[in-house]
Amino acid sequence: MPRRLRLCPAGIPQHIVQRGNNRQICFASDEDVAAYVNWLHEAALKYEVLIHAWVFMTNHVHLLVTPQVELASSLMMQYIGRHYVRYFNYRYHRTGTLWEGRYHSSLVQQECYLLACQRYIELNPVRADMVADPADYKWSSYRSNALGVRSKLITPHPVYMGLGNTQASRLINYRALFGSSIDRELLLDIRYSLNKGLVLGTEQFKTEIEALTGRRVRPIRRDRKSPQTTGYLL
């Protein structure tokens, strides 16, 4: 049976997760992350994808992006996969697959969920007990979005820009979003949407995406308490 085509319309934010096969390490050093970042930057420019948030964990990657043309995110991930796997296998004298099948992705409604998704991504190292403060983890976009550290990867989303009229006010208001934990129901919604390749948004937004793509984006039956939908993705 052919694979189902991904939902990847132009102009709609997309949350992407790529995991190491069997949760194996895919970044063994800072040099590995730097290599991945280099190809990510190249691919984003080549295929016209704007990157708003990211985190590079030991065995997986989270990205929040907006493709400017249809299917651009898929082409970007294919480009990175070809280059990085070849690099990783050569560096560590290994063969075979590195990533766990196809990456996971979900479309994100920008008005209601984009900043929540950014927080979810940038809090990954905190949830994994790697750091107490997201600012202490250097391989995420938190330092750019919250502290103003320059990065060649980042293109702030208009919703983020709406946090203030100046950079200083945006940074302050963005940091304030991290003063409370993410609601448990929202965490489940984010993980469920990713695992099922669905849409993170309101019912009205889902209806609009279904009309735009001609695809159903809501499950026939939903059970967020099953092992497949809770705790599987950080």
pLDDT score, position 213: 87
For the chain, helix (H) and strand (E) counts, in that order, are: 9, 5
Average pLDDT score, the chain: 91
pLDDT score, position 221: 59
What does the pLDDT look like over 69-116, one tens digit per residue?
Answer: 999 999 999 999 999 999 999 999 999 889 988 899 999 999 989 999
The single-letter code of the amino acid at 86 is: R
Of residues 18 and 216, the one with the higher pLDDT is 18
Q: Please report, to the nearest 10 degrees, the dihedral formed by the alpha carbons of residues 7, 8, 9, 10 taken in order.
A: 170
Cα–chain-centroid distance for residue 190? 11
> Is the confidence at residue 228, as pLDDT, over 50?
no
> Is the confidence at residue 1, as pLDDT, over 50?
no
CATH superfamily of 14-213: Transposase IS200-like (3.30.70.1290)
What does the pLDDT look like over 23-71, one tens digit per residue?
Answer: 899 999 999 999 999 999 999 999 999 999 999 999 999 999 999 999 9
What pLDDT band is residue 6 in, cutting at 50, 70 and 90?
confident
Share of the chain above pLDDT 70, in %: 91
Q: What share of the chain is helix, strand, coil (3-state, %, to 5)?
A: 45, 15, 40
- Average pLDDT of the segment spanning 174-202: 93
Instruction: For residue 200, give the nearest of 121, 102, 126 by alpha carbon.
Output: 121
Cα gap 112→53, rounded to integer Å: 16
Three-state DSSP state, 54? strand
What does the pLDDT look like over 145-187, one tens digit per residue?
Answer: 999 999 999 999 999 999 999 999 999 999 999 998 899 999 9
Which ranges of the chain would DSSP assign to H, the alpha helix? 30-47, 72-91, 110-122, 124-127, 142-147, 158-161, 167-176, 184-196, 203-213
pTM of the entire predicted model: 0.92
